[in-house]
Amino acid sequence: MAGLDRCFNVDDLRLAAKRRLPRGIFEYVDRGTEGEVSLRENRAAFDRIRILPRVLEDVSARTTGTTLFGKAQTMPMAIAPMSPAGLLWHEGELALARAAKAAGIPYTLPTESMTAIEKIAEVGGTQWFQLYLWNHRPHSYALLDRVIDLGFEALLVTVDTATMPNREFNSRNGFAMPIRPSLRAGWDVAMHPGWLFGTLARYVLTSGLPAAVNHPEGYREAIFRSPPDDATGIDRRTTWDDIRMLRKMWPRTLLVKGILHPDDARKAIEAGADGVVVSNHGGRNFDSAVASIDALPAVADAVGTKGTVLLDSGIRRGSDVAKALALGAKAVLVGRAALYGIAVAGEAGASHALEMLRAELDKTMGFAGCRDVDAIGRALVAP
C-alpha cells in the first residue's frame, strides 16, 4: 500500500501516522501523562541495555517461533489491548485481529472496543480478551459470559488504573471521551481529509458514529455522548479477591496486567493467575512509574516457574523483544507499533509493523548466536 514502502522501522510508521491523523487523536495514542517521564524512561531503559554478541556459532537456520500457553506461534509477541484502534481506522480492531492471525500471533481485544466481540471472533486465530471490571459487576459478568462462549483463549485483567491519569495534553488539545465538538477540533479534522473520509465517514455511512459497542444495552454511547451513569466506569474498588473470583469464573488462561512490583506478582499467582503482564500502561497512567523493562527481572524471579511472565510498554525494535526475553519474559505485547501501522494502512500497516519487528528479532538472534528464542537468556545481556 502507498506509503508503507517508505516505512523501514516503527519510527517511520509513527511519522506517517502523525501526518494522517488529527492531532488530538494522534497525541491521545502517542503521548503519556503529566511530564511524560515514564513514557521517555520506557525507551531510555531499553536503550541502556546492551547485548553481548556471540561469534562463530552456526546461526544459518534460525527460528523466531515459540510456544505460549501450550500453543505454537511464529514469534514471541502478541498484540496488546488498545481501545483507540477504532478511532485510527474504520473497525481498527478488526484490522489488528486479521493482522495478528496472518502473523500467527495472539490478538487481545479491549473492553472498550469499537468493534463487536462477535465480529472479532469470526476472524479466528488466537484471540485474547482484556477486561476492566465495571462499577456494576453484573454487566461485567455478562460480558465475560459472552467472551467465554465465543472461545477467547486468555483473559487479561488490567489492574493499574486505580485512579484517572492526568493527561494534560488531552485538555490542551480539547480531546476527551466523550469528544466535545469545538472549532479547534473541527479545524484539526478538516486538515486531515484522509482520516475524515477514510475513517469517520465510513463509520457514519455504515454503522453510525463509533461507539463502545460491547457495553450493555443502554450504554453503547457514541463517542460524542456520555453514558447515562457510571455503571460502566472502571471500578476503583477492585482487590485481589476479585482476581480469585475471576479465577473461578474464567475456565482458561488468566493473566493480571499492570504488574511492576514483585510482591504483586506473587499475589497474582497466589490468587490463581497463570501469569502476569509487566506493564506501566505504556507510560500513560502514572508518570513516576518504573520502566517496565527495569521492573522485569525482579518480577520474573518472583514468579519463577509458577507462572508465565509477559511484558509491554516501550517495544519499538526486534532487539527490544530479545532484551525482554533475556530478562525473563516469555513474550511481549506490541502496542503503539501496531497502532501506528493501522493508522497508516489498516491491516496492511499492522502486518508491516509486525514483520519489521520479526525481522529485527531474527537479525538480533543471528548477532547473538541464538538459533531459537529458547537460547535467549540473561547471559545475552551485558552487565
For the chain, which residues make up each domain, given as ranges?
Answer: 4-380
Confidence class of residue 337 from pLDDT cuts 50, 70 and 90? Answer: very high
Name the 3-class secondary structure at 321: helix
Reported as a single tens digit per residue, the pLDDT across 123-179 is 999 999 999 999 999 999 999 999 999 999 999 999 999 898 888 887 777 776 667
Q: Tell me how far apart the alpha carbons of residues 41 and 281 are, in angstroms, rounded to a whole number.
A: 13
Instruction: Check residue 59 and give its pLDDT.
Output: 96
Does residue 271 register a pLDDT over 80?
Answer: yes
**Residue ranges of the alpha helices (H) in 214-326?**
240-249, 262-270, 292-303, 318-326
Quote helix, strand, coil % in the chain, to nearest 5: 45, 15, 40
Q: What is the pTM of this model?
A: 0.95
136 is catalytic: no
**321-348: burial string, b at 16+ Cβ within 10 Å, e else:** bbbbbbbbbbbbbbbbbbbbbbbbbbbb
Rounded mean pLDDT, 299-320: 98
Query: Which amino acid is located at 333 in the chain?
Result: L
Nearest to 156 by CA among 325, 331, 275, 45: 275
CA 41, CA 29: separation in Å to the nearest integer?
17
Angle between helices 183-190 and 23-30 (to 10 degrees): 90
Distances (CA, A) of 181 to 166, 220, 225: 21, 19, 11
Q: What value does the mean pLDDT take over residues 103-121?
A: 97
**Mean pLDDT in residue range 201-225:** 85
Phi and psi angles of residue 381, each rounded to the nearest 5 degrees, phi first: -95, 130
Catalytic residue among 139, 215, 281, 352: 281
pLDDT at 187 over 90: no
Residue 156 pairs in a beta bridge with 130, 255
Q: Answer for the pair 352, 341: CB distance below 8 angstroms, yes or no.
A: yes
For residue 374, pLDDT beyond 80:
yes
d(CA 164, CA 285): 8
Of 342, 361, 274, 363, the closest CA to residue 99 belongs to 342
> Who wins on pLDDT, 351 or 183?
351
- In sequence order, what are the residues at sequence separation of 6 or more whose Cβ sits closer than 8 angstroms to the Cβ of residue 189? 22, 195, 196, 200
Superfamily of chain region 4-380: Aldolase class I (3.20.20.70)
How far is 339 from 30, CA to CA, in rounded Å?
A: 9
What pLDDT does residue 2 have? Answer: 52
Q: Are 313 and 281 in contact (CB under 8 A)?
A: yes
